[in-house]
Amino acid sequence: MTTEENIWKLLEEVPDPEIPVLSIIDLGVVRTVKVHDSGVLIEITSTYSGCPATDVFIADIKSKLAENNIEGVEVKMKFSPAWTTDWLTENGKKKLKEYGIAPPVNEPDKSILFAKPFVVPCPKCNSKSTKMLSQFGSTACKSLYQCNECSEPFDYFKCLK
């Protein structure tokens, strides 16, 4: 018998295609899992609206559940409420740092165009002396930084609120 709890567990095994150290549960994109008479409804949200990983999430969720003989799976996109980095789990943030990506820090008011710079600690040596190289990084969710202490360039998972 398929339970919702069971499905949540299986979804923990579906990795984010771009940051495979995170599961889609860590990322906080799975919003609802509902088991009903004729199948399963899963609602997910995208991180950034153009994120190409979204289509991969949907395919991977379906194949993961199919492997476990769960049928009648429908995956729907849900746009509201919009995803924020607050939905990243604590475990997810920890895994990001271990992977070498600085997890989001609480940034000052995003509605101000020229907000004061904020500190993003280096994920390698924890130094607080780092600089932003580019606001846009290898994927929509990241910026490029460099550590002034150990010189290591690193990705920063941008705060989105």
Partner 1 sequence: MNDALISYCLRIGDSTLVLGQRLAEWCSKGPMLEEDIALTNMSLDLFGQSRMLYSYVAELIGDGETEDTLAFQRNEREFFNFLISERPNGHFGETIVRSFFVDAFNFHFYTKLKESKNEVLSAFAEKSLKEVIYHLRHTSQWVIRLGDGTEESKEKVQGSIDSLWPYTEDMFDMSDGDRQLVEEGIAIDLDSIKADWKKTIDDVLAKAKLTLPENAYMHKGSRKGLHSEFLGHLLCEMQYIQRSYPNSEW
- Cα gap 100→112, rounded to integer Å: 29
Nearer of residues 80 and 106 to partner 1, judged by Cβ:
80
104-123 residues in contact with Zn ion (CB under 5 A) are 122
- Which of 81, 106, 116, 119 touches partner 1 by CB under 8 A? 81
Assess 130 for contact with partner 1 (CB under 8 A): no
Nearer of residues 10 and 103 to partner 1, judged by Cβ:
103
For residue 70, the minimal CB distance to partner 1 (Å) is 25
Assess 150 for contact with Zn ion (CB under 5 A): yes
For residue 12, the minimal CB distance to partner 1 (Å) is 25
- Which of 9, 76, 94, 110 touches partner 1 by CB under 8 A? 110
Interface with partner 1 by CB under 8 A: which residues? 46, 48-52, 79-84, 110-111, 113-114, 133-138, 140, 144, 158, 160-161
